[in-house]
């Protein structure tokens, strides 16, 4: 008889967990609070480390059908407009790391995972059900859903995001920390832009107390724009998707170069959905395996290690988590708590390193004064050596750990 895992959350992390657990031979019941599966947000960068995981799940063709594959990463000074450094992607990424570097609409990534779960697994998907709490006793985990149901399983995976109720019960009611950074995001049809504003690459603009990133998504048909500035967050953090004031963003970009301002103004010029605002929250880096699994309960993705977007690995680490969860759950000679312990041991240090590096990158991206000049000089002198991250793109956190 197959063991059964209960998954809290139907976002990218929850669907990846369901796919991995199913491939490990487990029955899966997934519970999603919303009335329909959907994903808000805009673009996501997925490095070679993540693309390799998707390929291992047989999702190369679905990925090719919806993603873009930028030719290079360019870094520019947001004030002068000067190019500071370039990292080749495209065939170079495939040669170095065994898989391409992709950029994708968040909804498209969510959609291809949902399609895989629906088509290739027997996962039971329960909409309008949230997991409100659990008990872990006598070798069984029992969850309480928002509809008043009690459901038993052999394991529970909390993939219920930044405000995870599973995490709160497992680790205590410590809220995420407010970073003081605000992300303005927009999507623009590339065909509506002048040729000079279209792009087939990733461009990062670094300025004092701000930075911007633009890249293609959805086969290159759309351009994703994100501008991150430092400022006070809205009071209602849990409802974190807010309509943004374009005038406020333009005010924040005063003093930046004309080229960047033209890109930002293009959002209003072509009409469409306009800007959305996200206040960014995170948590300190994971401190031990106990922060990712205890007993019959594990945490995955943002429920375990929400991070700042300055290494473009938030969704990627959730997918890596799910791949490692698959390996651990397939260890049928181990008791379930030991399998989840193995999962946590193999993931927590890599996640902590990515969290710490993301925070560090934010300080570098937004540097002012002498630190800013030093950053630009390092990029001009060292270029590709500064931008490449071999330990990240080559690895996947799957090295064996002792129990």
The catalytic residue positions are: 215
193: helix, strand or coil? coil
- Alpha-carbon distance 286 to 289, whole Å? 8
139, burial (CB in 10 Å: exposed 0-12, middle 13-18, buried 19+): exposed
Q: What are phi and psi of 372, to 5 degrees?
A: -65, -45
Length of the chain, in residues: 403
Beta pairing, strands 202-207 & 72-77: parallel
Q: How far apart are CA 338 and CA 284, in angstroms?
A: 25
Q: Do the beta carbons of residue 339 and residue 325 sit within 8 Å?
A: no
For 67-150, where are the alpha helices, taking DSSP H only? 90-97, 106-120
**Distant-in-sequence contacts of 166-172, Cβ < 8 A, 24+ apart:** 166/8, 166/131, 166/134, 166/297, 166/299, 166/303, 167/299, 167/303, 167/304, 169/133, 169/134, 170/294, 170/297, 170/299, 171/291
- φ/ψ of 243, rounded to 5, equals -65, 140
């Amino acid at each position: 008889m197959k063991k059964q895992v209960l998954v809290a959350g139907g976002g990218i992390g929850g669907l990846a967990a369901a796919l991995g657990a199913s491939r490990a031979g487990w029955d899966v019941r997934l519970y999603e609070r919303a009335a329909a599966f959907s994903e808000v947000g805009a673009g996501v960068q997925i490095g070679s480390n993540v693309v390799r995981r998707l390929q291992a799940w047989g999702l190369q063709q679905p990925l090719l059908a919806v993603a873009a594959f930028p030719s290079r990463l360019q870094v520019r000074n947001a004030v002068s407009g000067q190019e500071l450094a370039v990292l080749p992607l495209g065939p170079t990424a495939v040669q170095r790391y065994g898989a391409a570097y992709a950029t994708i609409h968040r909804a498209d990534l969510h959609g291809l995972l949902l399609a895989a779960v629906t088509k290739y697994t027997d996962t039971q998907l329960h909409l309008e059900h949230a997991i409100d709490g659990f008990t872990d006793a006598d070798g069984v985990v029992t969850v309480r859903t928002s509809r008043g149901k009690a459901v038993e399983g052999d394991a529970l995976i909390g993939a219920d995001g930044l405000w995870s109720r599973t995490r709160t019960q497992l680790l205590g009611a410590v809220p995420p920390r407010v970073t003081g950074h605000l992300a303005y995001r927009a999507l623009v049809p590339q065909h509506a832009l002048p040729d000079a504003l279209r792009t087939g690459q990733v461009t990062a603009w670094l300025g004092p107390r701000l930075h911007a990133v633009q890249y293609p998504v959805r086969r290159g048909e759309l351009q994703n724009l994100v501008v991150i500035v430092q400022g006070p967050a809205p009071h209602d953090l849990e409802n974190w998707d807010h309509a943004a004031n374009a005038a406020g963003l333009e005010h924040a970009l005063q003093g930046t170069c004309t080229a960047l301002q033209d890109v930002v103004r293009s959002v209003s010029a072509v009409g469409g959905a306009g800007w959305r605002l996200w206040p960014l929250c995170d948590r300190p880096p994971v401190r031990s395996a106990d922060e990712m699994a205890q007993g019959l309960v594990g945490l995955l993705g943002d429920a375990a290690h929400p991070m700042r977007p300055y290494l473009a690995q938030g969704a990627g680490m959730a997918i890596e988590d799910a791949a490692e969860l698959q390996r651990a759950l397939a260890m049928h000679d181990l008791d379930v708590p030991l399998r989840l312990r193995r999962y946590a041991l193999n993931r927590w240090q890599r996640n902590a390193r990515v969290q710490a590096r993301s925070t560090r990158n934010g300080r570098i991206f937004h540097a002012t004064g002498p630190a800013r000049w030093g950053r630009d000089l390092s990029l001009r002198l060292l270029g590709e050596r500064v931008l490449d991250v071999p330990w990240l793109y080559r690895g996947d956190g799957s090295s064996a750990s002792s129990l």
